[in-house]
Amino acid sequence: MIKPHGSDTLKPLFVYDSEQHHALIKEAETLPSLLLNSAAAANAVMLGAGYFNPLQGYMNLDDALSVASDMKTKDGLFWPVPIINMTSDTSGIAGHSRIALRDPNVEGNPVLAVMDVDAIEDVSDDQIKTMAEQIFGTLDPEHPGVATFTSQGNKLVSGRIQVLSFSYFQADFPDTFRTAVEIRNEIAERGWEKVVAFQTRNPMHRAHEELCRMAMERLGADGIVIHMLLGKLKKGDIPAPVRDACIRKMVEVYFPKNTVMVTGYGFDMLYAGPREAVLHAVFRQNMGATHLIVGRDHAGVGDYYGAFDAQTIFDEKVPAGALDIEIFRADHTAYSKKLDRVVMMNEAADHEKDDFVLLSGTKVREMLGNGIAPPPEFSRPEVAQILMDYYQSTQE
C-alpha cells in the first residue's frame, strides 16, 4: 500500500488507548481552556484522524508563513496550507503550558483535545493578509475562505495535541465518517492496490458518476473511494446528509458491488482552489489512495481561479517526489447527444456546445425547487428525487 506522506507509518493523533484517553479527559477538566473556532476544531479532527500526517499539532508562525509562501515548513516538510489555531483572546490560557481545547460545534463545548503549548504569538494584520493572499490567491472579503481566515483573530497558539474526540462527525454521520486509519484498513481488507479518490462537496450527477467510472477504467483501478466533505460549507451549498443520501443511492443502483467505498471526512471547506487541491492530495495519500481525480475548478468558488489551475499547480509548484499520490486530470464532463453517453468535453471531436446536455447550477436548483427533475442525461432520477424533496422542503 502507498506510504503516508512524510513517514513510513500513519501517526494519527487520536488517543485510542482507553486508559490514557480516560486519564486525559479527567486531566482536561483541571486545565485552563481555549474555545476553538470551527476551522481550528476541524484541523484537530483531521490531525486526530491521521489525515494530516505527519504533523504533530498546530504550526507556529514561522511554519505558517513558510507554508503559505513556499508550501513547506521551516524544516522542509512539503505542506500546502497552514494548519493553525488562531484566536482573538488568549487571556484564559496565558502563561500555561498545557491546556484543554474545547469544541465550538457541539453543545456544552466538550473537550476536543489536550494541547502542550509551545508558543502564543501575535500575528500582524499584514501577515494575515499576506498568508490569505498566498493561500487563496485573493484578498476579496467576498471570498468565503478569505472571510473565514481573516476573521479568526491575531493570536496564534502552536504546539502538539492529543485528540480525544472527532467532534460531531461520528455521531451525525456514523455510516459515513471514517478516519484515514479506518479507510487504510478497509482498503487492505478489500485487497485493493490501485485506489482512486474522488473529492466532493456536492451531490453527484451523471457527469461525476461517469468521471469516477472513467478514472477507474483508464487507470485499471481496483476501486474508488468517494470521499465527501462533512464539515461547514458556504451558504447555499447542499447539506451533508442530503449529499450523503444522493451519493449512496447512486452507488447502490449504478455501480457494481464492492467497487466503491462511500466515506466522509470532518473538515470545513476552504474554497482555496489550487492550494486546497494539493491539500486534498496529501490527505488522500494518507488514507491510502494512489490517485486523486482533479477536475475542472477543483475546490474553487466563484471566478477566483482558472478552470485548470488546480491541475497546473501540481506541475508548477509541487516539487518532484514531494508526493507519492498521482493525479488523474479530468476535463469538464457532460452528456453527448451525438454519442449518447457522458464524455470529457475536450475528447469529443466535432462537437458544438449545443451537442452537450449542459445546465447551470442556478437552472438545476430552480428546476428541483419547482419539482421538475433534470433530464436523465444530467441526473439519475433516483438522485433527482432526493434533491427535489430537499429543495421543496426548504420552501415550506
pLDDT band at 210 (very low <50, low <70, confident <90, very high): very high
Copy the grid coordinates of residue 163: 485528540
Q: Between 365 and 141, name the one with better pLDDT.
A: 141
pLDDT of 395 strictly over 80: no
Q: Which grid coordinates are listed for 384?
A: 433527482
pLDDT at 168 over 80: yes
For the chain, give every domain's residue range: 18-170, 175-394
Question: Rounded to whole angstroms, how far apart are CA atoms 298 and 308?
Answer: 8
The CATH number fitting domain 175-394, selected from 3.40.1190.20, 3.90.850.10, 1.10.10.10, 3.40.50.620: 3.40.50.620
**Active site (catalytic) residues:** 201-202
Average pLDDT, the chain: 95
What pLDDT digit, counting tens, does each position of 244-301 carry? 999 999 999 999 999 999 999 999 999 999 999 999 999 999 999 999 999 989 999 9
The partner residues of 101 in beta bridges, in order of sequence, read: 34, 113
Q: Strand 223-229: give its sheet, edge to edge.
A: 260-265, 223-229, 195-200, 291-294, 326-329
More confident site: 370 or 16:
16
pLDDT at 396: 62
- Kindly state the cell numbers that stand for 288: 491510502
44-97 residue pLDDT tens? 999 999 999 999 999 999 999 999 999 999 999 999 999 999 999 999 999 999
Q: How confident is the model at residue 360, as a pLDDT?
A: 79
pTM: 0.95
Please give the pLDDT value at position 62.
98
| Cell 464524455 sits on residue | 343
Q: Which CATH superfamily includes the segment(s) 18-170? A: Sulfate adenylyltransferase (3.10.400.10)
pLDDT of res. 236: 76
pLDDT tens, residue by residue, 302-341: 999 999 999 999 999 999 999 999 999 999 888 899 899 8
- The answer to whether 99 and 32 have CB atoms below 8 angstroms apart is yes
User: Using 50, 70 and 90 to split pLDDT, how confident is the model at 125?
Assistant: very high
